[in-house]
Structure 1
């Protein structure tokens, strides 16, 4: 059996009202679909804490270190966006449609002829579901 610790929290009345509205909405959804949603205050707060912890862990995974990215290196930046897309069973035309990037420009990025601008990178990154950056870029040391 896992160890548990009890805590007491104080919430603003407005926050409690918002939680009540969400719980009511969740209960309505669960009448029509099989959802795993919180149905009471305790489950809602536990779920919110877990969600927040997961977001923080995701942000933590984006920490860029000098060691990982060889910041002082003259090595070319390369991407593995095409390989990541294949792993996600996405096609170039899917990314082009989701991002609005012209197929020719996207082809140049995927083949490493060009690296994406910040704007294109953000579009592609969001279309891919915001994976850790180190899964999309590396320094070519050859």
Structure 2
């Protein structure tokens, strides 16, 4: 087993200490017979392992892993707006934008930055995200 040493700021250490104490408290609350007491080092290692598992899981489900093509994320805002009877002009007015800019997004000629995506999504009534986005092979 390898060992590493890390240096962290005092406030980061205090935050880790609080998180470790909270984790121990939660574990004891869930199981009153539990007597283990995680150390800060245990919490850090567990957090790193958890993050690595998330990355491995993403790699397993990532559609671009199966083939070398990178899928392109596209939106379905145009279809959603049409179903709800919302016009591009109305969305543009609510967002203080010009209709041609919204039209480019709705026709997938360009994709909005995250902040604008969320604003459009909210104007459309916050439909489920899986209905708003899809992957298209490049």
TM-score, normalized by length of structure 1? Answer: 0.48
TM-score, normalized by length of structure 2? Answer: 0.49
Q: Please identify the structure whose Cα radius of gyration is greater.
A: 2
More helix by share: 2
